[in-house]
Amino acid sequence: MGMIDTGSRGKRRSVDSELNLVPMIDLLVVTIAFLLLTQTLSSLGRLDATSSTSGPVGCGEPSTGRKLVVDARREGSFVLTWKEGENVVRSLEVPKHPKVARDGAGTKVAYPELEKALADEHKTFGLHRDAHDLKTDPLVLRTPNDLPFASLVGMLDASASVRREGTKLAAAPAAFNVTFAVD
């Protein structure tokens, strides 16, 4: 095939143009370096929350010691049950006669029968009665979901009023370590 020379070659721009890639490569390298540095520094700010050591012997196993369960789910009475593991050692029913006092701050509920029964049970069946024993007997409060807060506070006050005897301290340590169980 033949070509015709028109002679207008000098007036057109050249089709081949060079693109300067050095600034683009510099920007790319700086961006990658910034991302790598940020990734490294952000991982240094994290703490490893896993424990590489095992717990003490018996940790995580269910307790087989004696505990007192106070069941407040019955309508007219509390049921106090001493348990060793799953075995019931002793069960006692205490009438639920709340003494309600109203003042400007709110309502205060007290359970004197529960307080007396808890003190008697601790004196008779508590494992940690010695004044120098640093452990406390576990007490589980089983309550219904709809129990008023004032009643729950009254039960906590009754359990907190039981103290160990024979200590020379001004405030004798509590006899029970209270936990909750709800329906």
What is the tens place of the pLDDT at every residue in 9-56? 556 666 667 778 899 999 999 999 999 988 887 776 665 666 556 656
What b/e readout covers 81-112, taking b as 16+ CB neighbours within 10 angstroms? Answer: bbbeeeeeeeeeebebebeeeeeeeeeebbbe
Comparing 67-81, 138-152, 158-172, the range with the smallest average pLDDT is: 158-172
pLDDT confidence band for 161 (50 / 70 / 90): confident
Evaluate whether 64 touches 85 at the Cβ level (below 8 Å). yes
Residue whose token pair is 């509390």: 78
Instruction: State the average pLDDT over residues 105-129.
Output: 87
| Predicted pLDDT at 117 | 92
Q: What is the pTM of this model?
A: 0.61
Q: Which fold has domain 66-182?
A: Nucleotidyltransferase; domain 5 (3.30.420)
pLDDT over 60 (residue 3): no
pLDDT above 80: residue 104: no
Q: Output the pLDDT for position 20.
A: 85
Q: How confident is the model at residue 61 (pLDDT cuts 50, 70, 90)?
A: low
> How far apart, in whole angstroms, are the C-alpha atoms of residue 93 and residue 103?
31
Angle between helices 149-160 and 112-125 (to 10 degrees): 40
pLDDT band at 164 (very low <50, low <70, confident <90, very high): confident
CA distances to 19, 30, 88, 159 from 156, in Å:
81, 64, 23, 5
